[in-house]
Structure 1
Amino acid sequence: MATQNLILYTTLGCSLCEKAKVEIWPLLDKYPLRLESVDIAEDETLTRLFGWSIPVVGLGATDDVLCWPFTSEELDAWLAQRVV
């Protein structure tokens, strides 16, 4: 299975994003995924989409994401439906 990116939509000083990483890290090897942080402040569209809901994770499609709060179990179930 090829490694793909799990995108963490974040911004500088996001303390919840650090909490989200704790839920994300255990699943990276399982699927296999690489964590890519994307700062929403650098993109007007991402700021509009996720400004009030970060941290948000996704696999690239901004209309199919998982918003915080989530547990590693919830993220696992979300990924199981999307990572082939």
Structure 2
Amino acid sequence: MNKVIFYTKEICSLCDDAEALLEMFQQDYEFEIEKRDIYTNDAWLEEYQLLIPLLDINGIKLDCEHVDYYTMEKTLKENFPLRHK
């Protein structure tokens, strides 16, 4: 199964918005969301603290500056198949 790794933290409105977009895109594209709280892993915290929300889509990292509707849709479209309806 295709997977999007979603680096996040609690009490983060940008993260909430990114998660809502991801869940919306799941209706069109086949992928699972793996949520990772950066405060549960020191390496994630050090690397991504200033970048969250951060999405890892097949090795392509979209940080807080690039987590928007159009960039997410383009990246998902290029990496994951459409759902059959």
Bin for the TM-score computed over the shorter chain? 0.7 to 0.9
How far did 1:75 drift? 0.4
How far did 1:20 drift? 1.0
Aligned length, in residue pairs: 80
CA RMSD, Structure 1 to Structure 2 (Å): 1.9
For residues 51-82 of structure 1, the C-alpha deviation after alignment (integer angstroms, 9 at most, x for no partner) is 01100011364xx3101242222101122333
Q: Which runs of 5+ in 1 are unaligned?
A: none
CA distance in 2, matches of 1:71, 1:23: 8
Q: TM-score, normalised by structure 1?
A: 0.77
Q: Of the candidates 25, 37, 61, which is equivalent to residue 65 of structure 1?
A: 61
Equivalent residues in 2 for 1:12-27, closer than 5 Å: 12-27=10-25
How far did 1:30 drift? 2.3
Aligned match of 1:75: 72
Q: Which runs of 5+ in 2 are unaligned?
A: none
Contact 1:55 1:67 in 2 (8 A): yes
For residues 38-60 of structure 1, the C-alpha deviation after alignment (integer angstroms, 9 at most, x for no partner) is 01111111111110110001136
Indicate how the Cα distance of structure 1 residues 40 and 60 shifts in structure 2: closer, same or farther if over 3 A, else same.
Answer: farther
Q: TM-score, normalised by structure 2?
A: 0.76
Contact 2:53 2:63 in 1 (8 A): yes
